Amino acid sequence: MSSLREECGVFGVYSPETYDVASMTYYGLFALQHRGQESCGIVVNDDGLFQSYKDTGLVNDVFTSQHLAALGSGNIAIGHVRYGTTGTTGRSNAQPIVVNHIKGRMALAHNGNLVNTSELRTELELQGSIFHTTSDTEVISYLITKERLTAPTIEEAVNRAMCRIKGAYSLVIMSPSKLIAVRDENGFRPLCYGQTEDGRYVVASESCALDAVGARFIRDIDAGEILVFDKNGPHSIRDHCGKAPYCMCVFEYIYFARPDSVIDGCSVYEARMRAGAFLALEYPVQADVVIGVPDSGIQAAIGYARQSGIPYNTGFIKNKYIGRTFIAPGQASREDKVKIKLNPIAEVVRGKRVVLVDDSIVRGTTSARIVRLVREAGAKEIHMRISAPPFVNPCYYGTDIDSREHLIACHHTVEEIRSIIGADSLGFLSVDSAKKLAGGIQGKGQCAACFNGEYPTQIPSNPIKSKFEKRISDNN
């Protein structure tokens, strides 16, 4: 059970005719809710007239039937669920961003994190740009708008802007007549598209959102690709494809994505099962039962059980009305939520040697509480197995690990971590195995920089949070 915050989820729909695209986007965002629970928003395009609504909170809380009705019908819409990694929380940084410009309106939603935000923003501010948020998404929108002054089309403006922005970005962009999907040159974050039986095109961060709106999966959008949907159907711009090594974030398979999604040809469910099997081979133990911490530890636990031959059983009852613990703002609140979110089943663990499988250990406090819960339920031994390697480096591509300061593995050995969390033994998945979780699809690689420090791009020269997010006294 990690204390990570994830990045975001994006969704877009292009309909040949006027349709209730707001409701369709609502259901798509609902399927992507696991990718961000801080804020959400939808923008609907009705023949060039944009209607938008966004706020902090969960999708079903923010969008009442009245809000959806007010958005009206249209033929294009984009939506976003957010947990911020660059930019403070709150409504001001909620997405999509809407831009009104002499060359036409534009709405944009972004999943990922740029590594050169500071330099780009400074450059734009010195040229007179005025920013209303502290997110890197607004930087992207400014660059596209700036290029739009001379570019013949909005897709060409996007193409030119991609030469400036570096890092992780999966985008959905809406103009008065087009829906545009963009994926960065490394393919850090997932993005795919499909089509409904009645001809509507759908773009989403994960394939599970296509399923939610009845769209047939067509394919993943390639790293570096710009895919444009308009009255002539989809057409691809591939000027940036093949310019950088493919580096999908391996933690998408370990934790972020929903298990029913397929990312770049690999089932997330199968990847997690594979992680558990690798763990059983790397860290075998004599035990009576294998249990997993809901939700993303369950598939790895089943994989461990199948490989080891130790029986799997349901070890926890999860309160389904409580969101992921890392969503709660502040460590104390996260720890309080653990108490009411998970309850061990004493009949499963009492008097037994238990293999307890979870997806990660970041700070260690949540893991310690879970181990204590199982111990108090009567487990004789607890052997913790983690389906990710130890976090020892910051992530600059959309996961909220911005420093080594709070990473327990940066300050303690595995044996020390075992002692801190109170387990009888502890094993982390190896980095080599983590990079094999996607099955080596099409010879592509994964980014595991947070585990091994091998960053596929330049890293930020000034990764410290924006000065607009700090008190005056913080600078003293």
Q: Which residues are catalytic?
A: 8
Supply the DSSP string of 257-325, one letter for each residue.
S-TT-EETTEEHHHHHHHHHHHHHHHS----SEEEE-TTHHHHHHHHHHHHH-PPB---EEE-TTS--G
Degrees to nearest 5, angle at CA 30 with 25 and 36: 110
Which residue matches tokens 């809406």? 174
Task: At 271, list the tokens.
Answer: 């990847």
DSSP state of 127: T
| Rounded Cα–Cα distance for residues 345 and 243 (Å) | 51
* Sequence-ordered list of residues with C-beta below 8 angstroms from that of 398, at least 6 positions apart, any chain: 6, 7, 8, 85, 111, 112, 113, 168, 188, 189, 249
Task: At 164, list the tokens.
Answer: 């400036």
Supply the DSSP string of 379-418, one letter for each residue.
-SEEEEEESSPPP-S---SSSS---STT-GGGTS-HHHHH
Are 327 and 3 within 8 A, CB to CB? no
Note the maximum CA span of the chain.
72
* Bridge partner residues of 196 (DSSP): none
Q: At what angle do helices 365-376 and 331-341 cross, to 10 degrees?
A: 30
* Sequence-ordered list of residues with C-beta below 8 angstroms from that of 377, at least 6 positions apart, any chain: 344, 345, 346, 349, 350
Helix (H, G, I), strand (E, B) or coil at 169: strand
Task: At 21, list the tokens.
Answer: 């695209």
